[in-house]
Structure 1
Amino acid sequence: MLLYLHVPFCRAKCAYCAFYSKVPQGDDLALFERAALAEIEALGRRHGRPRLDTVYVGGGTPTLMPVWLWERLVAAIGRHFDLPRGIEFTTEANPDSVDVWLLQDLRGLGVNRLSLGVQSLSDADLELLGRPHTRAQALAAVEAARAAGFRNLSLDFIWGLPGQRLATWLRQLRFVAENLRPEHLSCYSLTREPGTPLAARLDAEELPLPDEGEQARMFVNGTSFLESAGFLHYEISNFARMGFVCRHNMGYWEGRDYLGVGPSAVSTVSGRRWENPRELSAWAKAALAGTTGGNAEQLSERERLRETIMLSLRTARGLSLKAYGRATGRSFVREHSRLLTGLRQHGLVRITRDYVRLTTGGMLVSNLILERLLGDADG
């Protein structure tokens, strides 16, 4: 079982972000505390104090929470779940929200993996994205993490930014690999999220994006560089040194059960899925009344199979043909023979006796490939 805790608080809303977050006001922190403690207790009881494989605290900016609130939340998780020592316990953080003393406190509470939202090491790019930190603060946060004892450090970056070119992206990756030396990297292409300030500027053509060819080179050449630097490209956007694959996210891609705490958090257990209310006040009301999860829906076998295909093909391992055959009684390769033949001829998939997996080129156009595969399945 995986546990995700969504902390919705940020100092300010970034220009590109569509996740639910808010600047804390008044008694927001106290309300969040009461509701989160109630939901943690309810989920633990409802599911028989399950053993956790990972804990992931995301947001928002979880490291805006005071240490006393961290202590209460971690203690509650330990009371209502089986929390083995040494499990992967991640928190997200923004570089401007941490110092060595806070990080030492979190290490003392059992947090052993830190995911820093760096996004860029260019001050101009950070300003464009509306990020609240600078390059200098990002470098200082990495130093603080190491000084606090973190030996599992992940850094997030965004590529395909307005005005960005292949050379600048590769130069940044080289600096990160050789100087910051994280155990894990998440490199996401810029997504135009409707309703965000950045999307409005892009729609108005105020900001020139790299063309498709340049973006393709950023992905392919960036992947090639990171692999040569010792990183395993284990999922479309994720790279890890040996032994540092993110177990929490792999759990999602492998279809493991997970529970979500907090506003907008999603849970899926034994094919039943529910999503918490998005707004803090609405979620807190439901959590305190014990009614979160009341909107659960049972996924159909077809829906679960489609998810398995989509999530498996995001990973370097790919889709297990044996598992697909056991689940359906059918051959995936025969079902999609014409499409897979064409994809293989274009170097977009590899097919072995046991797996179908996307190549680096296939990952670049994964959305189109999945659309075709799932369209085949529906047909």
Structure 2
Amino acid sequence: MLVYIHVPFCSTRCRYCAFYSSPLGRGVDPVSSPAVRDYVDTLFMELAHWGDRLGGSPVQTVFFGGGTPSLLPPRVIALVMERLGRYFTLVPKAEVTLEANPESLRGGHRVAQYLEAGVNRLSIGIQSLDEGMLRMLGRPHKAQDSLHAAFLAREAGCANINVDLMWGLPGQSVRQWLQTLKDVMRMSPDHISAYGLTLEPGTPLELDVEEGHLMLPPERDQNIMFMEGAALLEQHGYLHYEISNFARMGFQCRHNLGYWEGEDYLGLGPSATSTIGGRRWTNPASQKAWDVRTREGSLGQDVEELTPQTRVLELLMLRLRTTRGLRVKAYREMTGRDFVRDHQRLVQALHENGLIRIRNGYLRLTRSGMLVSNSILSNLFARTREVLRHGLAPGARPDAVPSAGVGSGSLGEALLAENSAAQTSPVPQPGQGEGQGPVENVMAPAGVLGHKRKPARKEPEIRAVQWPRA
């Protein structure tokens, strides 16, 4: 099981942010904030609530996301980890990630204290190293704070560091973006999450663009940012293992990999989502309402039972985000149907346009395919809904947890094996090293999982593709 803990507090709300958060104001000491104290009390009650119901469950990863979790003092993080260990079973070398803003890590002792509290992975929200971009985004730190934070984290002994970056920003050029990547790589992070900007409705940044005060880069430039940025990172030893995520070998984020592989996860805190045993629920996106629900013992009552169709669609969406891709046998196990037979015309069109690669029973998006992943998934979902409209085939197991092995036997897999002869490079495999590091708090993609997500780019269409009709 994965555990996500949403810490809603931040010093100021960034101009692009649409997540649930509670700005405390710059210079406010979180320790003296009644809202923070109430949050911690309620979080402990929520932990006890789920400890009674899920007690002893093994926990592979813990992720403190926000908001700005590094506003919480290290001693509070230590207490949360102690409670987690009391109610659940933290596996040896469990990955424990803390999201942090650079300015909140001033003073090397603070990083050391987080490490002593049980954190073994830091995710630093740099976003940009350009002062103008930081002001435009409403970030509360300066570029020098980012460089200093990364240095302090290493000096304190943190062996697993991620940095979050954003591209496709208003006024940003391809040259600026590539220079940002070069500067960040000099900091030697173990993991880099690079998100294209999505303008969330109603945010100040979206309004500025809508009213013409700011201009997004041309679509062609955004495409180049993604393609050349990914190539640059791979040239310097970062494996491109998910659409927005790059890691040195052995440092892939285990928490996010768990999401993408369909593992159960427990979400704690206001607005956090949980999915356990095919049941999904979301906490109220209000600290007060979350507190009331917790005190009443009524958490997790508004439950969504995941339908077989939803399970299949999530399998497609989550697996195709990764460079490992979709194992077609998993589709057959869940539906009793053959993937390539169901989607033959679409698969052929995507393959001919260089948007997918097929090898050894796996179908994955190429880098060009990642650029239009929303369009690909939209067409794939439409066809999948059509073929599943009359139900699953006999023998289907929609609740099956697909294994990692590659089997054979279906016509679709035979076609995939046949097509793979034209491929010259193997499908990259996510590593299984210890102490890896989210998205970074991708955490899971929005829309289907309803979990916190980072801004993702608006994807351009490739007009050369003639989408087959369902």
TM-score of the aligned structures, taking structure 2 as reference length? 0.79
Q: Which range is displaced more, 97-106 or 194-203?
A: 97-106
Q: 2:234 touches 2:240 (CA, 8 Å); kept in 1?
A: yes
Unaligned runs of 5+ in 1: none
1:272 to 265, 279, 297: 279
2:216 to 209, 217, 220: 209
- Residue 355 of structure 1: how far off its partner (Å): 0.7
- Corresponding residue for 1:10? 10
- Corresponding residue for 1:68? 75
- Residue 205 of structure 1: how far off its partner (Å): 1.4
Q: Which range is displaced more, 285-294 or 115-124?
A: 285-294
Aligned-partner Cα distance in 2 for 1:118–1:148: 19
- Code of the aligned partner of 1:352: R
Q: 1:34 touches 1:288 (CA, 8 Å); kept in 2?
A: no
C-alpha RMSD of matched pairs (Å): 1.0
- Residue 164 of structure 1: how far off its partner (Å): 0.9
Deviations along 1:198-225, one digit per CA (max 9) or x if unpaired, are: 0000111111111111100100111111
- Residue 121 of structure 1: how far off its partner (Å): 0.3
Deviations along 1:29-79, one digit per CA (max 9) or x if unpaired, are: 111011100111111221132110000000000110123322221111111
- Residue 97 of structure 1: how far off its partner (Å): 0.7
- Code of the aligned partner of 2:239: L
Aligned-partner Cα distance in 2 for 1:43–1:186: 31
- Residue 378 of structure 1: how far off its partner (Å): 1.7
Aligned-partner Cα distance in 2 for 1:292–1:69: 23
Say whether 1:283 aligns with 2:290.
yes
Say whether 1:130 aligns with 2:138.
yes
- Corresponding residue for 1:118? 126
Aligned-partner Cα distance in 2 for 1:157–1:67: 25
* Alignment: residue pair count: 378
Aligned-partner Cα distance in 2 for 1:49–1:289: 23
- Corresponding residue for 2:48? 41
- Secondary structure in 2 aligned to 1:333? helix
Say whether 1:256 aligns with 2:263.
yes
- Secondary structure in 1 aligned to 2:93? coil
Deviations along 1:228-249, one digit per CA (max 9) or x if unpaired, are: 1101100000000000000000
- Code of the aligned partner of 2:291: A
Say whether 1:55 aligns with 2:62.
yes
Deviations along 1:134-169, one digit per CA (max 9) or x if unpaired, are: 001111110111111111000000000111111111
2:95 to 85, 88, 93: 88
- Corresponding residue for 2:23? 23
- Secondary structure in 2 aligned to 1:68? helix
- Corresponding residue for 1:335? 342
Q: 1:86 touches 1:110 (CA, 8 Å); kept in 2?
A: no
Aligned-partner Cα distance in 2 for 1:219–1:184: 17
TM-score of the aligned structures, taking structure 1 as reference length? 0.98
- Residue 340 of structure 1: how far off its partner (Å): 0.9
- Code of the aligned partner of 2:278: G
Aligned-partner Cα distance in 2 for 1:79–1:242: 33
- Code of the aligned partner of 2:358: I
- Code of the aligned partner of 2:177: W
- Code of the aligned partner of 1:140: H
- Corresponding residue for 1:370? 377
Deviations along 1:68-108, one digit per CA (max 9) or x if unpaired, are: 32222111111111013421110000001113111101101
Q: Residues 163-202 of structure 1 correspond to what in structure 2 (within 5 A)?
A: 163-177=171-185, 179-202=186-209
- Corresponding residue for 1:310? 317
- Residue 288 of structure 1: how far off its partner (Å): 2.1
- Secondary structure in 2 aligned to 1:180? coil
- Code of the aligned partner of 1:162: P
- Corresponding residue for 2:456? none
Aligned-partner Cα distance in 2 for 1:67–1:373: 45
- Corresponding residue for 2:166? 158
Q: Residues 320-359 of structure 1 correspond to what in structure 2 (within 5 A)?
A: 320-359=327-366
Deviations along 1:184-205, one digit per CA (max 9) or x if unpaired, are: 0000001100111000001111
- Corresponding residue for 1:109? 117
Q: 1:8 touches 1:263 (CA, 8 Å); kept in 2?
A: yes
Aligned-partner Cα distance in 1 for 2:341–2:236: 38
Unaligned runs of 5+ in 2: 25-29, 387-470
Q: 2:309 touches 2:385 (CA, 8 Å); kept in 1?
A: no
Structure 1 runs of 4+ aligned residues shifted over 3 Å read: none
Deviations along 1:236-295, one digit per CA (max 9) or x if unpaired, are: 000000000000001001100000000000000011000000011111111122211111
Say whether 1:141 aligns with 2:149.
yes
2:303 to 292, 296, 307: 296
Instruction: Say which structure is richer in helix.
Output: 1
Q: Which range is displaced more, 204-213 or 152-161?
A: 204-213
- Code of the aligned partner of 1:360: R
Aligned-partner Cα distance in 2 for 1:344–1:32: 50
Aligned-partner Cα distance in 2 for 1:148–1:6: 25
